[in-house]
């Protein structure tokens, strides 16, 4: 038996813990595991990738996985930018996704009908049991259901060892996901697919670095001024703020407290008493809003609410 899996999520979603959980639980069930997280920028929201190979014989090579049997996404917003990973899954393999969207919609995002697709609302389940938007325990439950291992009992043991706290809450989340996962079976035999591989260099660097030979890299690795405007950190959100303008009193507390400068005042043409007037309104810059929810917390009139996005 050999199952090669690649896990994708963001810093703070528990990707590393997720692979440690499944590895630990599988080892407890008598298998061999090699959980090999790829550490990049250790920053909340930044994409994180981890490899996990499960075998019933000793495997001690940390070779990166190129054509996984399984790809697991802790964040459906990564399906598009990390398409290379779902494309590399072997025909007949599996894509497991944590998403609040309809399973059919997720299947559309995956864009393949020759792989099995399992969907669970990992964040919804985690928020319910653990009160945190961390879908790793739910995905451990999904993994157990889809592959028949590791056992739920071993997952509980792994939660104990890897987390050491909130074990029962996380276990309840794993169990609910185990029971509620929806699987869309693969159709067809895959046909003539062009073989795709996950590149062996880190998948999360920006720019065409793979084209730059050592002779052309900046001397001493010097970095020249750039702009963080290029990094649309809004993709990290699990929830986004929406505003009810009829309740807004333009106190601007949200603007004052927003840590990302993502609350904007915009002029808007509206009709008032039959006359066209220009008024100022609060809007959000969703390119950079990370969905922290501070604006909703400080709003004195309850005009701002947070809604789930993934």
Partner 1 sequence: MTAELQTAVKQRRIALTGNHAVALAAKMAKVEVVAAYPITPQTPAVERLAEFVNNGELDAEFIPVEGEHSALSAVVGASAAGARVFTATSSQGLGFMYEILPIAVGLRLPIVMGVATRAYSAPINVWGDHSDIMSMRELGWIIYLVSNVQEAFDTVIQAYRVAEDPAVHLPAAVAYDGFWISHTLQPLEVPEDEEAVLKYAPITRSWRQLDVDRPASVGAVGTPEWYFEIRWQAYKALEDSVKVVEAADREYGKLFGRSYGFGSTYRAEDADLIILTYGSIYGVVKKAVDALRERGVRAGAAKLRVLRPWPRDFIRRALGGAGKVLVIDRALNHGGVAGPVATEVAATLAEPVYTAYATIGMRTIDSRGVARAAERVLSGEVRAMEPFTIGLRGGP
Task: Please say which residue, 202 or 301, places its beta carbon nearer to partner 1.
Answer: 202
Give the burial class of 113: count Cβ atoms within 10 A of its Cβ; 0-12 exposed, 13-18 middle, 19 or more buried: middle
Residue closer to partner 1, measured from CB, 214 or 224: 214
φ/ψ (deg, to 5) at 52: -145, 120
CA atoms of 156 and 171, how far apart (whole Å) = 6
DSSP string for 196-263: ----SS-TT--SSGGG--GGGSPGGG------GGGS-GGGG-SEEEEE-TTT-----HHHHH-TTS-E
The two three-digit tokens of residue 148, written as one number: 């028949």
Q: Does residue 226 bind partner 1 (CB under 8 A)?
A: no
**Residues 65-104 interacting with partner 1 (rule: CB under 8 A):** 66
Distance between CA atoms of 109 and 128, rounded to whole angstroms? 26
Residues 178-207 that bind partner 1 (CB under 8 A): 200-202
- Segment contacting partner 1 by CB under 8 A, of 89-97, 99-107, 130-138, 209-217: 209-217
Q: Is 290 in the site for partner 1 (CB under 8 A)?
A: no
Separation of alpha carbons 122 and 277, rounded Å: 46
Local structure of residue 187 (DSSP, 8 states): -
- Any contact of residue 259 with partner 1 (CB under 8 A)? no
Task: State which of residues 161, 172, 182, 183 lies at the interface with partner 1 (CB under 8 A).
Answer: 161
Q: Which is nearer to partner 1, 192 or 220 (CB)?
A: 220
Binders of partner 1 in range 35-54 (CB under 8 A): 35-37, 39
Region of 33-41, 177-185, 244-252, 301-309 interacting with partner 1 (CB under 8 A): 33-41
Binding site for partner 1 (CB under 8 A): 16, 19-20, 23-24, 27-28, 32-37, 39, 59-64, 66, 158, 161, 200-202, 210, 212-216, 220-221
């Amino acid at each position: 038996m050999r199952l090669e899996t690649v896990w994708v999520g963001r810093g703070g979603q528990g990707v590393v813990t997720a692979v440690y959980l499944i590895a630990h639980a599988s080892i407890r069930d008598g298998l061999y595991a090699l959980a090999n997280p790829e550490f990049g920028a250790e920053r909340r929201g930044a994409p994180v990738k981890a490899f996990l190979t499960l075998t019933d014989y000793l495997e001690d090579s940390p070779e990166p996985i190129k054509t996984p049997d399984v790809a697991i996404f802790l964040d459906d917003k990564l399906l598009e930018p990390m398409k290379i990973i779902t494309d590399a899954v072997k025909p007949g393999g599996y894509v497991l996704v944590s998403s609040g969207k309809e399973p059919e919609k997720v299947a559309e995002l995956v864009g393949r009908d020759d792989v099995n697709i399992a969907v669970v609302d990992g964040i919804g389940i985690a928020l319910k049991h653990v009160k945190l938007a961390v879908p790793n325990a739910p995905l451990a439950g999904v993994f157990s259901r889809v592959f028949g291992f590791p056992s739920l009992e071993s997952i509980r043991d792994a939660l104990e060892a890897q987390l050491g706290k909130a074990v029962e809450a996380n276990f309840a989340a794993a169990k609910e996901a185990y029971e509620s996962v929806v699987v869309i079976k693969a159709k067809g035999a895959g046909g003539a697919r062009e073989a795709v591989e996950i590149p062996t260099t880190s998948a999360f660097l920006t720019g065409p670095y793979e084209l730059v030979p050592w002779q052309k890299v900046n001397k001493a690795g010097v970095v020249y001024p750039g702009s963080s405007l290029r990094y649309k950190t809004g993709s990290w959100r699990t929830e986004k703020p929406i505003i009810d303008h009829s309740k807004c009193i333009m106190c601007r507390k949200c603007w004052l407290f927003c840590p990302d400068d993502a609350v904007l005042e915009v002029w808007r043409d509206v009709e008032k008493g039959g006359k066209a007037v220009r008024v100022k309104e609060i809007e959000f810059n969703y390119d950079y809003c990370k969905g922290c929810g501070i604006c909703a917390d400080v709003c004195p009139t309850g005009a701002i609410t947070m809604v789930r996005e993934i």
